[in-house]
Amino acid sequence: MDEMTFSRRIVAEVGRLLNNTSNPQHGAIGHLASAAGRGAESLVYLTDIDERRFAGEWPNDAYENDSIDDAHARWAATTALSCLDLCIAAAGRLLGFAIRPPKGEDSIRSFYHSDYKTGTIKKDKRDTIIEPWRAWFDSVVADHRYADLLRVRNALVHADAFRIVHGTTGSIAGHEMRYGYRVKSLDPSIN
């Protein structure tokens, strides 16, 4: 039997959580949670296609490798952030702490937003988040990788990241020859 995918695990877990409840948000919770699972699953797929593209000798085909490298980094960063946002939106609806901004869903930044250049907290509504989600939330925003994801996403979506290029006289092969990105501190005006 195949290992259960993220999407199937999410559907099973949401079904278990909502079973025999009369939560009026059933549909939205299921949709948000399954979208997070599909997003996580798409990152597994991305890893597979990225490995095929860049593990061995790089192909010389109709697609520029640097464009594909940018696309994969952008896909990974934006999807990872979206999955976190979808999780907090589903949790807020499940446990009743959703803020529900007009024309949208809650995100991590609906509850907490800080200026990563100065450390100044611009918004802090974490006290509205119910346990165990508060502990999860606090661990996400305290994790340096969350700030890194925001920096990468902002650099690749809202700007053009400064590219570190490696030169070689031979064929290009392996991940170690991939481009690096120099990503500055977050611009607090970009969300």
Dihedral sign from CA coordinates of 45, 92, 78, 164: negative
Q: What pLDDT shows up at residue 188? A: 44
According to DSSP, the residues that pair with 114 across neighbouring strands are 121
Residues 182, 16: Cα–Cα separation, whole Å: 44
pLDDT tens per residue, range 121-179: 888 899 999 999 999 999 999 998 888 888 888 888 876 666 555 555 566 667 666 66
- Phi, psi angles (nearest 5°) of residue 185: -60, 155
More confident of the two residues 131 and 10 = 131
Dihedral sign from CA coordinates of 85, 91, 97, 98: positive
Residues 33, 38: Cα–Cα separation, whole Å: 9
Q: Where are the domains of the chain?
A: 6-182
Average pLDDT, the chain: 81
Dihedral sign from CA coordinates of 67, 70, 72, 75: negative
